[in-house]
Amino acid sequence: MGWLWSSGERSSAKDTLDPSLREFLDAEAPTGPKPPLPSKLSPTTPKPAESLNPDHRTSSQLSTSTVPSQSQFKDGRYADLWKNYTPQSVINERGKNEQDKLRDIVDAYNERKSDIGRVALENCAFEYMAQYECFRSPSWYQTATLCNAESRRFNRCYDLQTKFLKALGYLTMDSRSAEDSERIQMHADKLYQQFREQEQLIEKAKEEGMPIPRFESVLSKDNVARAVAGKPLSNSLASEEQATIESESDIWSHIKKESREEYEKKMAKMSPEDQEIEKRALLGELEAQTGMASKVGKVFVEESINRMKRREAGQATIGDTIKHLWGWK
């Protein structure tokens, strides 16, 4: 460490090395001219453009399109490991028998029906809180009327929101994501708010003695299109055939005579606007029931084909034999 106080010329680091180590470095050092250093590009210097020839694409770029959605590496890494991947849901479906599949269909339909009540309650949260606050700390007038106005407003909201959800296809058995279900919920609330505005304008016109304004049904094709704002919905109102209207006779043809008479008595007491909403809600229920029946029919057909294959292969089970004796195919 003499260089700290030495007044002479500082020696290089190479001179301080051991002589044998210095000889080894000199022997191993590269010979010949030094390669030129790359010139520093200015910020304004354009970079060379990459070749647009598809043959120059890298292997990761070529395999990106084949990467399944389950992979976390979208650049094509481990694509060969995903070639034979089978989702767990598909594996679980293969192991289900006829009873399991039918149970899943019924459970899914019942879950959709219960979800409608929950979603309608979410859309009527303000009306529900108004009713709750009235019951919790009512005024003198609210005590005298037993919160009748608040309860009627909440029940009206809940009933209409439920019908709008059915009319927009919330009950249908089509597979959809949580975002699609939330979108239908939002559209149902939009239509309800529009319906409430129309009712308020009609009431105001009656109080002022003005002509009662006429509005098209909130579930008409144009109104639904404005509420949806280009977003796709279920087949009940999104498709042209369903939106363009089934006649009243077509609706009643799906209903038993006793239920039809009950519906007619109920709808006779409704306003024309409420009758249209009731019809569309009924169409949504019929579509959901038709979809469930179609899924059930597919399960029976698939199971019948499997039984025939087992009988032809000589592997029929006791259940297959009993069903065959009972006349099942």
| pLDDT of 242 | 45
| pLDDT of 59 | 47
Asked whether residue 54 carries a pLDDT value surpassing 50, the answer given is: no
| pLDDT of 155 | 95
Asked whether residue 77 carries a pLDDT value surpassing 70, the answer given is: yes
Q: Which domain holds residue 254?
A: 90-292
pTM for this predicted structure:
0.64
User: Residue 231 domain-assigned?
Assistant: yes
Mean pLDDT across 247-257: 66
Asked whether residue 83 carries a pLDDT value surpassing 80, the answer given is: no
User: Residue 56 domain-assigned?
Assistant: no
- Determine the Cα–Cα distance for residues 257 and 259; give it in Å rounded to an integer: 6
For residues 185 and 198, is the Cβ–Cβ distance under 8 A? no
For residues 155 and 268, is the Cβ–Cβ distance under 8 A? no
Q: What is the pLDDT of residues 165-190, one digit of tens each?
A: 998 888 887 778 888 889 889 999 99
CA-nearest of 144, 163, 165, 161 to 153 is: 161
| pLDDT of 217 | 80
Asked whether residue 243 carries a pLDDT value surpassing 60, the answer given is: no
User: Residue 174 domain-assigned?
Assistant: yes
User: Residue 285 domain-assigned?
Assistant: yes
Asked whether residue 212 carries a pLDDT value surpassing 80, the answer given is: yes
| pLDDT of 136 | 93
Torsional class of 146: left (φ above 0), alpha (ψ -120 to 50), beta (otherwise): left
Q: Which of 141-150, 219-228, 273-282 has the lowest mean pLDDT?
A: 219-228
More confident residue, 75 or 128: 128
Q: Which segments of the chain does DSSP mark as H helices, in order?
A: 19-28, 59-64, 88-94, 98-123, 125-136, 140-145, 148-167, 178-208, 221-228, 235-238, 240-243, 248-252, 257-268, 272-312, 318-325
The chain-wide mean pLDDT, for the chain, equals 75
User: Residue 189 domain-assigned?
Assistant: yes
User: Residue 64 domain-assigned?
Assistant: no
Q: How confident is the model at residue 129 (pLDDT cuts 50, 70, 90)?
A: very high
Q: How confident is the model at residue 122 (pLDDT cuts 50, 70, 90)?
A: very high
User: Residue 122 domain-assigned?
Assistant: yes
Number of folded domains that form the chain: 1
| pLDDT of 55 | 44
| pLDDT of 134 | 94
User: Residue 283 domain-assigned?
Assistant: yes
| pLDDT of 160 | 93
Asked whether residue 124 carries a pLDDT value surpassing 50, the answer given is: yes
